[in-house]
Chain A
Amino acid sequence: MKRVYLDNAATTKLIPEVLEAMMPYMTEIYGNPSSPHYFGQQSGMAVDKARQQVADAIGAEAGEIIFTSGGSEADNTAIRGIAERYAKKGKHIITTAVEHHAVLHTCQYLEKHGYEVTYLPVDEYGLVTVDQVREAIRPDTILVTIMFANNEVGTIMPIPEIGALCREKGIFFHTDAVQAVGHVRIDVKEMNIDMLSMSAHKFHGPKGIGALYVRKGIIVPPLIYGGAQERNRRAGTENVPGIVGMGRAIELACENLDEKAAKMMLLRDKLIREIPARIPEVKLNGHPTKRLPNNVNYSIKYIEGESILLMLDLNGIAASSGSACTSGSLDPSHVLLAMGLTHEVAHGSVRMTLCDETTEEDIDYVLEVLPKVAERLRKMSPLYHG
């Protein structure tokens, strides 16, 4: 059966060049980077190189990169770290209603410990404005944390504007850029970003490795204590193969980034254009242009997302959904609800996320299968009278 993987926002394939870079660090070069001997120093050098590769990709300096176990740990470290360290200055944090749970649940945790959090609402496209942030700032605001791009609907936030505002007000600005790194050009200096989270498995790197960029001069206490690794900012023996893989993956992702993005956008826009031409009563979720080059998210009215995914999967297509039935909690996506979708429309959402290996043939296959799936499920739906 033909198989088409369109769930690259969930995770991506490890590419051979990355695996090749990692292999020696799982076999011959196994020393602990903290050890002063040859074995250790070889590993240490590889970690230094990767740190530079990661820094270069976002316009940072190597010393500003802390390796973590992934995006969730980077988010936790940034938010809990700033909250703890700067509590004397204030206990107010600004974020949005559409963040990833790694940010939202961390904020909820802090609320239980005496912090106040403002969750900015979004418009129908999933956007916040810089004016909303400006109005929410208070004398005791210590941190603004707003995602670079949304993982469900792909909407890209006005990050440079928010960065400039925060810098002007002297408030720390963190962005969860897990979905943006490797897809969108990022320069932390130009964009006035103080902290940025990323995760290697979202850009064809290995799973379980990520990084937090922290601008020089900002002190973020560690989440994990125990050793002097990462300059006392994150204890634990380094995941050397992971770090090396992340460095190579980010380097490759940023090579011809614009070309690859343009290619994905062409296919993305074909789906965005053709789905409503072939299936009546659908709704595009997310912004029409301010969106990730690889994200398509549609609600197909009168049918339910898990059923859509299951039927797509039976036809070899892997996608994702914000339906209540696909979430363990049986709540529909908080992102879609925050954008004003009714439960019913959120129910029928399908997210398809491309990668630079996605072909036009793959897209045409989806355009052939999806209308059939929609028709079949609508025939079954008590809500559809078509």
Chain B
Amino acid sequence: MYTEKVLDHFQHPRNMGEIEGYNGMGMVGNAKCGDIMQMFIRVNDEGIIEDVGFKTFGCGAAVATSSMATEMIKGKSVDEALQLSNAAVVEALEGLPPVKIHCSVLAEEAVKAAVEDYRKRMAEKKESENKD
């Protein structure tokens, strides 16, 4: 049912776990089956995602899409990360069974949530700096 690529990412998840010094974190839930995905990013001063990590409570496809998504955004700018679509993740995994497409949406949303959190933190930081 799963492609080799999916099984590979499931068995050997890339960038699994919380990372040190992250400055963006997104946690999203899946309304469909109740799964949860958490994404951590560390963005440098140039706006590049230096490091990324994920945690997932979900099926094989959810684990594989999170793993693949982290690979696809690592080293990219936050703007580029926002362009990541679930379809691109699915394609990179060489396909998912139709009932599992919603799991890949979770990965896209987790990346977006992490970037959003990063931007919010940056805005807050700026504000407090301006106050000083």
Interface residues in chain A, defined as those with a beta carbon under 8 Å from any beta carbon in chain B: 302-304, 306-307, 310-311, 314, 323-326, 328, 330-332, 343-344, 347, 379-383
Chain B contact residues: helix, strand, loop or mixed: mixed
Q: Tell me which of A302, A311, A347, A379 contacts B17 (CB under 8 A).
A: A379
Q: Tell me which of B10, B16, B33, B38 contacts A325 (CB under 8 A).
A: B33
CB distance from B30 to the nearest CB of A (A): 9
Q: Tell me which of B17, B36, B37, B63 contacts A307 (CB under 8 A).
A: B63
Q: Which residues of A contact B11 (CB under 8 A)?
A: 311, 314
Contact across chains for B58 and A307 when beta carbons are under 8 A apart = yes
In the complex, residue of chain B having the shortest beta-carbon distance to the beta carbon of A324: B33
Question: Considering only CB atoms and an 8 Å cut-off, how many residues of chain B contact the other chain?
Answer: 26
The distance in angstroms between the C-alpha atoms of A219 and B103, with both chains bound, is 50
Contact across chains for B60 and A310 when beta carbons are under 8 A apart = yes
- What are 29 pairs between A and B in contact, CB < 8 Å? A303-B57, A304-B35, A304-B59, A306-B58, A307-B58, A307-B59, A307-B60, A310-B7, A310-B59, A311-B11, A314-B11, A325-B103, A326-B59, A330-B33, A330-B102, A331-B33, A343-B34, A347-B34, A347-B35, A379-B17, A380-B13, A380-B55, A380-B63, A381-B56, A381-B57, A382-B27, A382-B36, A382-B38, A382-B56
Q: Which residues of B contact A325 (CB under 8 A)?
A: 33, 35, 58-59, 62, 103
Q: Which residues of A contact B131 (CB under 8 A)?
A: none
Interface residues in chain B, defined as those with a beta carbon under 8 Å from any beta carbon in chain A: 2, 7, 10-11, 13, 16-17, 27, 32-38, 55-60, 62-63, 99, 102-103
Chain A contact residues: helix, strand, loop or mixed: helix
The distance in angstroms between the C-alpha atoms of A381 and B56, with both chains bound, is 5
Q: Which residues of B contact A326 (CB under 8 A)?
A: 59
The distance in angstroms between the C-alpha atoms of A310 and B56, with both chains bound, is 15
